[in-house]
Amino acid sequence: MAVLGNAELRVDYKADFQDKENMEGLVKRLQAAQVPAEMRPDEEHSAWTVVFHDSTNAERPIGIGLAGQPDYKKFRSLARQMGRYNEPPFVVVKGDHRETQANWAGLLEYVKSEGKRDASVQRYKGLGEMNAEQLAETTMNPEKRTLLQVRLEDVVESERIFSTLMGEDVENRRKFIEDNALDVKNLDV
């Protein structure tokens, strides 16, 4: 989230969440970014939590619990490291061509579009959907394919995860994905 990526924001330590004025400032920043947010007391920690709803209408808290998560700490550390370079306008130099981007969101969009320029992504549910030429170029070409060996070491846990991801319990599948999304290492996009 762009607001939490602001290096100057104080949302890292328990004392930050105990300062009511500081948390009110966070609410104002979120609302300025078109994110309806509200502040709630966190009586367990004698602090404040800011709550908003994401695009799936799930309630998302910004509080001491979030600040204690390793991924959040890493995110905030990176935000502080990058903060000193986040001084628009940004100039992108490509050969003799120079292009100026007014803000980091524009820079990100520019880099993403340049990265996709000469690439095409096709997804298939199975090899049967590919034509013979595509199979020969990809799956059947020993120079381009990667074979991985999969070992089933914990049958019970594997069955539980398979049932969660492939079963009919949508809510359980959604919760599993939300809980494990940040741990994914090799996501096929």
- Global confidence as pTM: 0.57
- Which pLDDT score is estimated for 188? 63
pLDDT tens per residue across span 114-158: 888 888 888 888 888 889 998 898 888 999 888 888 888 888 988
- Which pLDDT score is estimated for 1? 64
Spatial distance between the Cα atoms of 50 and 26, rounded to a whole number of angstroms: 8
- Which pLDDT score is estimated for 149? 87
pLDDT at 106 over 70: yes
